[in-house]
A = this chain, B = another copy of it.
Amino acid sequence: MSKDGKIYVVGIGPGNREQMSLMALRAIEESETVIGYRTYIDLIEDLLEGKEVINSGMKKEIERCNLTIDEAEKGKVVSIVSSGDPGVYGMAGALLELSHKRKSDIEIEIVPGITAANAAAASLGSPLMHDYAVISLSDLLTDWEVIKKRVEYAAVGDFVIALYNPKSKKRVNQIIEAREIISKHRKPDTPVGIVRNAKRDGEKIIVTDLKNMLEHEIDMFTIVIIGNSNTYRFKGKMVTPRGYFK
C-alpha cells in the first residue's frame, strides 16, 4: 500500500449549506471518494467535482459502510456522509461497529454536525433550554415496547421530548401512541413544535399543542418537539424557561 487510508464520517448538518461546519467542508475537500445516500449526496453535489462519488439507496447502511472501509483499505481518503450529526441515528455507529467486526485498522474520524433536534429548536425558539430526551419512534431496529417505555419515562421525568422519525408512509401509529402516553402526564395545552425540513429548503414550522398536534402533517422529514410542564408559547415561538425569571 502506497499510503494509509482514512475515513471521515461527516455530518453535513440539516441541509442548508450555511449550517455546515468548516470541518465538514474540509473533510469532503480532502476526500478522494465520497459515499452516501443519494438525497444527501445531492445536497453537496457542488463540492464533489473531480471526486469518485458512490451514492446508494435507503436502508443500505451496512452495504455503504462496507464499501467505505473497502475503499479506505485501498489507501484512499474516504468521506461517508450523513445528514445532521452522524452520531445521532446516523452512520457513525454502523461504521464503527463494522470496523470492529472486520478488525479493520483504518483511522476513523467522526465529524459532528448540527442534528435535527437542535436545528428544529432554533427555528421554533428555545424549546430545548432545559433537560431533554431524544427518542426515535422508528421500530425498524428497536422493539416498539422499548420505545414506548422510553416515551413514558421521558414524560414522567418532565423532559422536553424530541421525536425523530415520528411517522412514515407505512408506520403511522407510533406518533398516535406516543401522544397518548405523553398525554397521561402532561396537560393538553402543552406546547408542541412540528418542524418539517428544519433549516433546509421548504422548511415549515408549526407551533401547536399536545391536544391538536395530530391535525398537522407529520412525516419522515419532520421533527416533533414536545414541551415540558413549564414550556410556553408567545408570538409563534416555543420557549422552555431555564429558570432565570422564577
Chain A residues proximal to chain B, CB less than 8 Å: 13, 16-23, 25-26, 61-62, 85-90, 92-94, 96-97, 100-101, 110-115, 118-119, 121-123, 125-136, 141-142, 146-147, 149-150, 152-154, 156-159, 199, 234-235, 237, 239-246
Which of B118, B142, B154 contacts A157 (CB under 8 A)? B154
Instruction: Decide if A141 touches B242 in the complex (CB within 8 Å).
Output: yes
Q: Given the complex, which residues of B lie within 8 Å of A128, measured CB to CB?
A: 87-88, 134
The distance from the CB of A23 to the nearest CB of chain B, in whole angstroms, is: 4
- Bound together, the chains give a CA A131 to CA B141 distance in angstroms of 12
Q: Given the complex, which residues of B lie within 8 Å of A26, measured CB to CB?
A: 18
Instruction: Decide if B118 touches A85 in the complex (CB within 8 Å).
Output: yes
Q: Given the complex, which residues of B lie within 8 Å of A13, measured CB to CB?
A: 21
Q: Given the complex, which residues of B lie within 8 Å of A156, measured CB to CB?
A: 153
Which of B16, B20, B90, B100 contacts A239 (CB under 8 A)? B100
Q: Given the complex, which residues of B lie within 8 Å of A97, measured CB to CB?
A: 239, 241, 244-245
